[in-house]
Amino acid sequence: MVQTRNLLQELLSTIADFRPKFRSDKDNTSITDLSKNLLGVDDETSQQRIGKLILGKYEQLDEDEKKAFFQFLTDEMDLDSHAILSHVKDYQHHRDADSLSKLLDASEPLRQDFLRRLNQVAGATEVLVNMRADLLRFAAQDKHLKIADLDFAHLFTSWFNRGFLTLQPISWHTPANILAKIIKYEAVHAINDWDDLRSRLQPEDRRCFAFFHPAMPDEPLVFVEVALCKGMPNSIQTVLDERDENLIGDEIDTAAFYSISNCQRGLSGVSFGNALIKQVVSDLAKEIPSLKHFVTLSPLPGFAKWLQDHKEHLSQNITDQIEQAAASVLEISDYSPLDKHSGVLKSLAAQYLLEAKRPDGQPVDAVARFHLRNGASVYALHAGADISDNGIKHSYGVMVNYAYELPHVASRHENYVRDHKLEASKQVTQLLSGKTTSFFSQTAKTE
């Protein structure tokens, strides 16, 4: 029965992933000419017809043609700077609504009107999100194309604001095409197969939630996986490999968010995680009154690189030993060579999270920035918490609990946004007392 279900799921997900959304086989007009035509018509019927043709053409473009299309959007749908200057002078002279309206119209690139008209086509939003994913790829190599991306980002921030999003629980009974995407999009701890997915969704002490947008009902935007525990988890191996379905309701005191994955590359820069965590915390607190602690079990994705890049400012002997031990762990698939460095690793990880800063005063670690900005605190560090290959390569096995303490979330968020002030528990700050250098406290603002 399980094998039949798995095969059906795989077939359904394959059909869903490769079905074309639009067709334009019978029209020979180029995509650039169609784009100009779209801006030149005002009736809705013509806009719908041309918009469908453009979206169908785009889905058939090869890589070179896509890049040429983005160059067209960047260069030929840009602002008219001369018109803007003229309208600025007119507004300075008249200071009335009419002159201001003309200035505002001139200050908006044609790209925004073009994208809005495209988005009026049913089913267009998903194509536009994928279009921006392509644009980001090209813009990484050609910075000039970032001009066009500013308009995508501006519009997506409005189209995907929290008011339009719906929170849905993901369970083993969720439609197969969506489950297939949960496997595909998991970005923190890989889901190896359908049985692995079932072990994360089916047990009573597991939860998963995702945000969806009504224009993309079959595409999760971001999802979070949660383990319901008695006590705070200190190892991802324990979370993924052990289940306790015999927990009595009032024994569950901790909700551990162990994986948060953004699903749509085209929505980079549009923040969902903050709202997702707050909504899930609120919903779980209502569902399970015994919950007292809301924490994460998070990776330190830049920790190993940070140590390697700054070994000259630390104890090079120690960092070399850690690197050698990590290489040995990867070779023999046994964490024991790093065991003896656990205390030093936790002390260095405390420095990394609390003292290593970007020029703007925020932590260098992206995951730390996300949770601290959301109002969490750095609660506990654990060595040997992720002994997967990725865990060893990126963080030497160290993981961190960020704590969302509900009475303090709002004030900590405000303090972080205003002053980049971060909160840490006593057990974490005490780890700094064993550090071998004060380099990072001296150079935090200039690194």
CATH level 3 topology of 10-159? Butyryl-CoA Dehydrogenase, subunit A; domain 3 (1.20.140)
Q: Which of 152, 50, 160 is nearest to 111 (CA)?
A: 152
For 174-205, the pLDDT digits (tens) are: 999 999 999 999 999 999 999 999 999 999 99
Question: If pLDDT is split at 50, 70 and 90, which confidence band does 445 have?
Answer: very low
Question: If pLDDT is split at 50, 70 and 90, which confidence band does 313 have?
Answer: confident
Q: Which of 243, 246, 257 is nearest to 209 (CA)?
A: 257
Which residues partner with 357 through β-bridges? 363
User: Strand 206-212 relative to strand 293-296: parallel, antiparallel, unpaired?
Assistant: unpaired
Q: Which of 268, 349, 336 is nearest to 301 (CA)?
A: 349
CATH level 3 topology of 299-443? Aminopeptidase (3.40.630)
**Same fold yes or no, 10-159 and 163-296:** no
How many whole angstroms separate alpha carbon 325 and alpha carbon 315? 15
- Start-end of H helices in 288-405: 303-309, 316-332, 336-339, 342-354, 366-373, 389-395
The residue written with tokens 């629980």 in the block is: 169
What is the residue extent of each domain of the chain? 10-159, 163-296, 299-443
Which of the 8 DSSP states describes residue 377?
E
15 pLDDT more than 60: no
Which residues partner with 402 through β-bridges? 378
Q: Which of 144, 1, 120 is nearest to 52 (CA)?
A: 120
Burial class (CB in 10 A: 0-12, 13-18, 19+), 335: buried
How many whole angstroms separate alpha carbon 315 and alpha carbon 320? 9
Q: For the residues 302-316, what does the mean pLDDT come to?
A: 88
- Residue range 163-296 forms a domain whose CATH class is alpha beta
Question: If pLDDT is split at 50, 70 and 90, which confidence band does 311 have?
Answer: confident
